[in-house]
Structure 1
Amino acid sequence: MLNRFEPKSMSLTPYLFFTGKGGVGKTSTACATAVSLADSGKRVLLVSTDPASNLQDVFGMELSNHPVPVIGMKNLDAANLDPETAANEYKAEMVGPYRGVLPDTVIATMEEQLSGACTVEIAAFNEFSSMLTNQELREQYDHILFDTAPTGHTLRLLQLPTAWSGFLSESTHGASCLGPLAGLEAKKTLYEDAVQTLSDSNETTLVLVTRPDDSPLKEAARASQELGEIGIQNQLLIVNGMLSSVMEQDTVSSAFYGRQVRALEKLPEAVQQLPIYQIPLAPFNITGIEHLRHFFDAPEVSLVQEKNVNPSLVFPLQHLIDDMESKGIRVIFTMGKGGVGKTTVASAIAVGLAERGHRVHLSTTDPASHLSHVLEQETDNITVSCIDPKVELERYKQEVLEQNKDSLDEDGLAYLEEDLRSPCTEEIAVFRAFANLVERSSHEIVVIDTAPTGHTLLLLDATEEYHKEIARSAGAIPAAVQHLLPRLRDPNETSVVIVTLAEATPYYEAFRLEQDLQRASIPTKWWTINQSFAVTDTMDPILSGRAIAEQEWIQQIHKASEGNTVIIPWESKEVVGYDSLKTWTEVVSPNEV
C-alpha cells in the first residue's frame, strides 16, 4: 500500500511543479495542495502555465496574469499565465520604446516579426521565469506552486531556457524570427537564474502526477527521465485516483481495481526509486474549496439517487461513423483536453471507416502520442503516421538550405543556417508536416488525433502567421499550406469530433474549444463522452458516486452538441488492437453494453 499524500504534514520546497500526462489530475492535485498548505497557515501562490488552464473552473472565479486572492480562502493567491496576454504584453515591451523614434515602416516590421506562435511561447516563458526568479515574490510566499501544462508542453517550456541561451550565445547577426535579439539578450541572466532555481533540490520539487494506468505511468517515467537530464533531480510521484477497496461481486469495480494493481506491478524503472504517494479516487467532481479540502481524504459516500441516463440523449459511436461516411467527410479531427481518450476515439473511427471499405490514414500531431500502442499495426485499409517534431525539424532545415544554396552567397547561407537554429523553427516544421498530412485527404480519409487543446489551437490559429514565416524562410508558400485553411473551414470536407469526459473540467475546456473553433470558422458537430460509468451496471459506492455526478454533465453535453452526442462506457479491459477497436463501432446502444 502506498503512503497517502498529505502536504500539510510534509516538508516541501518553496517551488513545486505539478506535471504529467493530460487528464491525470494535475490541476486538482495542485489546487488541493495549495488549499491544504494555505489552511495550515502557509502563504501560497498557485500559478498555471497551461495554455488550456482550468484554474478558473476549479475555483469558480476569473483569473489573470497577475496574482489575486482566491475567494473564500486565506493565505492563497492564484494567477493564470495566459500565453496570448503574455505575448501582447511582451510585444508592447519590445516595440513601445521605439514608437516615435524609428520610422513607421520599421515599427511595422518589428510587429510582424513578433506576430508568430513562437513569440507566444517565449512571452509565456518570460512570465514564468520572472515569477521563478523574483526575490520579492519569493519573500512574499512560503510556497509557489506551478500547475504546468500536459507533459509535452511542459518539457518544451522547461527546456526553453537552455535552448534560447544556447541560441543567443551563438548568434551574431542581431535578428531572428522572434524580432530584435537585443530584447532577448537582456533576458539571458533571467533565463540562467531560472535554470539554476529549477536545478536546486533545496528550492524546487517536480511532482509527477499519474493515474494507476499503463499509459500515464509510462508518460510520468518519460517526463522524470527527460527533466532529470536537464537538471531537475528532486522528484516525487503521486498516483491519483486509487480505488482503495474492491466490491468483488461488482464486475466493473473488480476490473477497475485489477487494472490499477496490474499497472502498478509494472511500474516503470525510471520512477521506481522515487518517493511514491497515492490519492484515493474521489466520488465527486473536484470543483470548489470544500471538495478540494476533502480531495486527499478517504471519501465517505452516501448515494441519494439512482444513476439513470436517458438513452435518447446519446448515440453509439457507430452512429457518428455512419454520419461521417454519408456526408463524405475527408478530414476528421479528435480534439479535447489531454487524457480524455482522443487517441482511442480517433483509432476507433479509423477502424470503423476501414470496416466500411474506405482507405484511411490515421495520424497524430501530439508530441506525447501513444497511437502505436492503441492500434498496434497497419492493415490493408489503414496506414498510420506520427508527426515527430525532431524529424520534421531536420527535414525542414535541409529543405530550406537546399532551396537557397544557389541564390545565397556564403555569408547569406551562414546567416540562414544560424536563423534555422532558433527553437521556433521546430514549430514551423511541424506546421508544414501538418499541412502535408491534411493534403492526403484528396485520395484517402485522414483521421488526425490532435495534441491537447492549447497546443492544437496555437497550431491552427497560427496558419496565416506561418504563411508569412514560411514564405520568408523558404521563398514560397507550398501548395499544401495554401490549401489548408479552405479545407479546414469546409463543413463538407472537415469535421471536428470533440472528445470529453462527463466531468466539469473536461466539459468546460471542450466548450471553450468549440467556441474557439467556431471563431476560426472550423466546423464541429459531434461530441463524444468517453469512459462513462453512468452507462455501466456498477453498484460500487465510489464508482456509482462518480456515475451520479456524470449525469449533470451528460445533460450539458447533449445541449451543447444539439443532440449529437456519442457515449462510450468505461471499459473493463484496455482498448488495444484492431479487434477491440472494432467492437466500439458495433455497439447498438450504450445501455446494452
Structure 2
Amino acid sequence: MTALPFLDNPPRFLFFTGKGGVGKTSLACATAVRLTGAGRRVLLVSTDPASNVGQVFGATIGNTITAIPDVPLLSALEIDPQQAADAYRAQIIDPVRGLLPTAEVDAMTEQLSGACTTEIASFNEFTSLLADPQATADYDHVLFDTAPTGHTIRLLQLPGEWTTYLSDGKGDVSCLGPVAGLDRLRHDYRGALEALTDPSRTRLVLVARPQRSALGEAGRTYAELLELGMSDAHLVVNGGMPHDAAGDPLAAAVESREAIALQDLPANLRPLPRTTIPLLPFNTVGLGALRSLLDAAAPPPPDTGSATSATVPDDFAVLHSLVDGIEADGPSLVMCMGKGGVGKTTVAAAVALELARRGHEVLLSTTDPAAHLTETLQADVEHLTVSRIDPEHAITQYRERVMAGKGSALDDAGRAVLAEDLKSPCTDEVAVFQQFSHLVFQSRRKFVVLDTAPTGHTLLLLDATGSYHREITRQMSEGTRYTTPLMRLQDPHQTKVLLITLAETTPVQEAEELQGDLARAGITPYAWVVNNSLAAAAPSSAFLQARARAELPSLARVAELCGRVAIVPMLAREPVGTAALSALTQQSATEAQLAHAP
C-alpha cells in the first residue's frame, strides 16, 4: 500500500471528508475493499444523512452492522437518522408511559419530533463507535464516510460542545432527555473527543477534486478541524483529468485549469502528504470499479456502450427555458436541492443572475454552511442581493430575543437557568429555521433563489418546517386564515423546486429518493437540472466519449422521473463570475460552449 500515502500505516479510525461530490464515498468504499484485500477486518460507517454506501456495493445496508456479501472481512453501517431518532425517542418516552399524564407524554413526544433530536440521536451512535472499544472490537479499522463538509464540521464539533454543555449546564433537560442519562452521555462524548484528537488512533483524509472551489473548501475544513485537535491529516486529490494525447479542446482546457488550481493550493494544505487519483472513464459503482480506483492494474469494468453515441434526449431543455417558466409565474421561491457537489450553488447563481438581468428584484441566499455564493458571483449585480443564513449570527440573535422576551419575566435565578438552556447546540435548529422562514415569506414580493445545504441536511430543515406547521395548525381556531412556510413550499405557484443532479448513478438515485421525500411532504419538484454533462458537451476524445456514454442510463432514468428537465454541458472553464454564469443560461448548449471558450 506504499503507493497510496494516505494508507501508509493507517490508524484504527479513518475519516473521509470534504466538499460534496468530490468522491468521499467512492474513496472510502475503495479503501475498505483494499484493506480487506490485505487481510484487515474493516467496518465502514456512513454518517451522511443521505448515505449511498449501499448503492455503491449494490447491497441493502441499514442502521445495524451488515456484512457485505461479496467482500469478505467487510461490514458496513449506515446511521439512519430517522431510525436512530425513533429509537432515541422510545428510550426516553417509553419508561414514563403510564407514569405521567397523557398530555405530558404528548408534549415530550412533540418536543422530541424535531431535527435536533434526529441529529443528537445519530450522533449518539457515532460517538459510541469512537468511545466504546467493545463496539468495534471485531474490526482492525473503522472508516467513516462523512456528510459533506459543513455538516461534518458541525458533527465533529459536537463532542467538545456537548462535553462543555453537560459540564456547565444547570438548566432544564432540553432535547437531551432525562437528567439521569447525562452522566453516561458525558462519558461517551468525552471519549469520542479523545479518540478524534489522538493521531495514533484517528487520521483525517481530506478529499478534493483538483478544482479551486473544492481545494479551497478542503483548506477551510482542515483549518477548522485542526482547531479541534485533529492533527494527523492527509490530502487526496481525486478525479484529475488524464492527459489527452489526441488534443480534445475540452479535455485540454479542463486539464489546464486543474493544474492551475493545484499550483494555487491553499497554504495550509501544501505540507500535507498528498495522494493523487486520476479520473476514470466509468462510474465507481460495483467492486470492479472500486478496485480500479486505487489500483491501475486492476481490470476495469466493461464499456457496455462502446458502440453507442452519447445523445441527449430530445425533450431535454436548456436552463434558459426553465428561467422563462419561473419568470412567468412572478415573484416566487426557487429552491435548488440535491446531493452535495452536483452544482446547486452554480445553478442557483445562474438562475438568480438571469432573473436580475431581466430587471427583476432577486434575493440569492443559501442554507448551506459550506457554500460561498460571493466567490461564485465575484461581482455586484444590479437588482441582485446576496445573503446567507449564518448559524452563529442566527443563534446569537435568537438567544438575545428569548432573553429579552421570556427572560424579562423571570427572576435572576430563572434567567440563569434559561441562559444555560440556550447554550445547548440544539438551539441551532430553531434559530436557523426562523431565518429560513423569513426568506420564504420575502418571496411574496421578489424572487428568492435559495441554494440549499446537501440533501440530508435540507430534509432536516424541512422537518422543522413541518413541525412548525403542525404546531401553528393546533394553535389556530377553526376558520382562522393563516399561511405557514410549509404551505408556501407546497404551492407550485409560490415555490419552484429544482432538483440538481449529475448524469451519474448515485446522484440520480439520491435525487429520486429526495423527490419521494418531498412528495410525502406534499411538495412536487418543478424541474430537474442535469449539470456538467459530457453527453451535452459532445467531446471528441475517446476517454471523454466513454465518460459520456456512461451517462446515458442515468439520463434515461431522469427522463422517466420528471417531465421537465434541463441539461447543462460540461464547460471548458469553471462557471465562476458573472460572465461565465450568464453563459449557462444561453439559448443552447452550443452557445454556452462558445460563450465560455477559453
Using structure 1 for the length normalisation, give the TM-score. Answer: 0.94
Which letter maps to 2:385?
T
Q: CA deviation at 1:109?
A: 3.1
Indicate the percent of aligned positions where both proteins have the same amino acid: 45
Secondary structure at 1:387 match in 2: coil
1:572 corresponds in structure 2 to: 572
The correspondence for 2:374, drawn from 372, 375, 379, is 372
2:562 corresponds in structure 1 to: 561
Instruction: Give me the CA root mean square deviation.
Output: 2.3
Render the CA deviation track for 1:341-394: whole Å, top value 9, x for unaligned: 101101111112122221111111110011101112332211111111111111
Query: Whole-Å Cα distance in 2 between the matches of residues 171 and 470 of structure 1?
Result: 30
Query: Whole-Å Cα distance in 1 between the matches of residues 311 and 519 of structure 2?
Result: 29
2:596 corresponds in structure 1 to: none
Mapped contact 2:171–2:418 kept (Cα < 8 A): no
2:251 corresponds in structure 1 to: 253
Which letter maps to 1:458?
L
Render the CA deviation track for 1:263-303: whole Å, top value 9, x for unaligned: 10001011111111011111111111111111123386978
Counterparts of 1:321-336 in structure 2 under 5 Å? Answer: 321-328=323-330, 330-336=332-338
Moved over 6 A (4+): 299-303, 467-471
Query: Whole-Å Cα distance in 1 between the matches of residues 242 and 88 of structure 2?
Result: 48
1:517 corresponds in structure 2 to: 518
Q: CA deviation at 1:589?
A: 4.7
Matched, 1:112 2:110: yes
The correspondence for 1:143, drawn from 131, 141, 155, is 141
Q: CA deviation at 1:329?
A: 5.5
Secondary structure at 1:42 match in 2: coil
The correspondence for 1:67, drawn from 65, 68, 78, is 65
Unaligned runs of 5+ in 2: 474-479, 594-598
Q: CA deviation at 1:575?
A: 1.2
Q: CA deviation at 1:101?
A: 3.4
Counterparts of 1:459-474 in structure 2 under 5 Å? Answer: 459-466=461-468
Further displaced range: 492-501 or 237-246: 237-246
Mapped contact 1:531–1:571 kept (Cα < 8 A): yes
Secondary structure at 2:224 match in 1: helix
Further displaced range: 190-199 or 571-580: 571-580
Matched, 1:544 2:545: yes
Structure 2 vs 1, CA of residues 469 and 426 (structure 1 numbering), >3 Å: closer, same or farther?
farther
Mapped contact 1:568–1:590 kept (Cα < 8 A): no
Secondary structure at 1:283 match in 2: coil
The correspondence for 2:386, drawn from 384, 387, 407, is 384
1:268 corresponds in structure 2 to: 266
1:484 corresponds in structure 2 to: 485
Matched, 1:84 2:82: yes
1:343 corresponds in structure 2 to: 345
Query: Whole-Å Cα distance in 2 between the matches of residues 100 and 24 of structure 1?
Result: 50
Unaligned runs of 5+ in 1: 472-478
Q: CA deviation at 1:428?
A: 0.9
Query: Whole-Å Cα distance in 1 between the matches of residues 577 and 8 of structure 2?
Result: 43
Matched, 1:588 2:560: no
Which letter maps to 1:46?
L
1:236 corresponds in structure 2 to: 234
Q: CA deviation at 1:125?
A: 0.8
Query: Whole-Å Cα distance in 2 between the matches of residues 319 and 297 of structure 1?
Result: 43
Query: Whole-Å Cα distance in 2 between the matches of residues 583 and 155 of structure 1?
Result: 34
Mapped contact 2:352–2:362 kept (Cα < 8 A): yes
Secondary structure at 2:583 match in 1: helix
2:535 corresponds in structure 1 to: 534
Counterparts of 1:65-464 in structure 2 under 5 Å? Answer: 65-247=63-245, 249-298=247-296, 304-310=306-312, 312-328=314-330, 330-464=332-466
Structure 2 vs 1, CA of residues 110 and 186 (structure 1 numbering), >3 Å: closer, same or farther?
farther
Query: Whole-Å Cα distance in 2 between the matches of residues 461 and 112 of structure 1?
Result: 12
Structure 2 vs 1, CA of residues 403 and 460 (structure 1 numbering), >3 Å: closer, same or farther?
same
Render the CA deviation track for 1:102-127: whole Å, top value 9, x for unaligned: 44343333323322211111111110
Secondary structure at 1:528 match in 2: strand
Query: Whole-Å Cα distance in 2 between the matches of residues 104 and 208 of structure 1?
Result: 49
Mapped contact 2:312–2:535 kept (Cα < 8 A): no
1:5 corresponds in structure 2 to: 4
Secondary structure at 2:434 match in 1: helix
Query: Whole-Å Cα distance in 1 between the matches of residues 471 and 424 of structure 2?
Result: 13
Mapped contact 1:177–1:419 kept (Cα < 8 A): no
Using structure 2 for the length normalisation, give the TM-score. Answer: 0.93
Query: Whole-Å Cα distance in 1 between the matches of residues 518 and 394 of structure 2?
Result: 26
Mapped contact 1:527–1:565 kept (Cα < 8 A): yes
Render the CA deviation track for 1:464-518: whole Å, top value 9, x for unaligned: 43468999xxxxxxx9x95312111111111100100000110011001111111
Which letter maps to 2:319?
L
Query: Whole-Å Cα distance in 2 between the matches of residues 417 and 243 of structure 1?
Result: 53
Which letter maps to 1:66?
T
Secondary structure at 1:91 match in 2: helix
Mapped contact 1:334–1:498 kept (Cα < 8 A): yes
2:477 corresponds in structure 1 to: none
Query: Whole-Å Cα distance in 2 between the matches of residues 426 and 482 of structure 1?
Result: 24
Mapped contact 2:331–2:445 kept (Cα < 8 A): no
Further displaced range: 102-111 or 233-242: 102-111
Mapped contact 1:221–1:268 kept (Cα < 8 A): yes
Query: Whole-Å Cα distance in 1 between the matches of residues 376 and 152 of structure 2?
Result: 24
Mapped contact 2:338–2:501 kept (Cα < 8 A): yes
Secondary structure at 1:141 match in 2: coil
Query: Whole-Å Cα distance in 2 between the matches of residues 470 and 268 of structure 1?
Result: 48
Q: CA deviation at 1:174?
A: 4.3
Mapped contact 1:198–1:232 kept (Cα < 8 A): yes
Which letter maps to 2:512?
F
Query: Whole-Å Cα distance in 1 between the matches of residues 153 and 483 of structure 2?
Result: 31
Mapped contact 2:172–2:421 kept (Cα < 8 A): no
Query: Whole-Å Cα distance in 1 between the matches of residues 228 and 408 of structure 2?
Result: 39
Query: Whole-Å Cα distance in 2 between the matches of residues 452 and 15 of structure 1?
Result: 25
Which letter maps to 1:502?
A
Mapped contact 1:250–1:540 kept (Cα < 8 A): yes
Secondary structure at 2:380 match in 1: coil
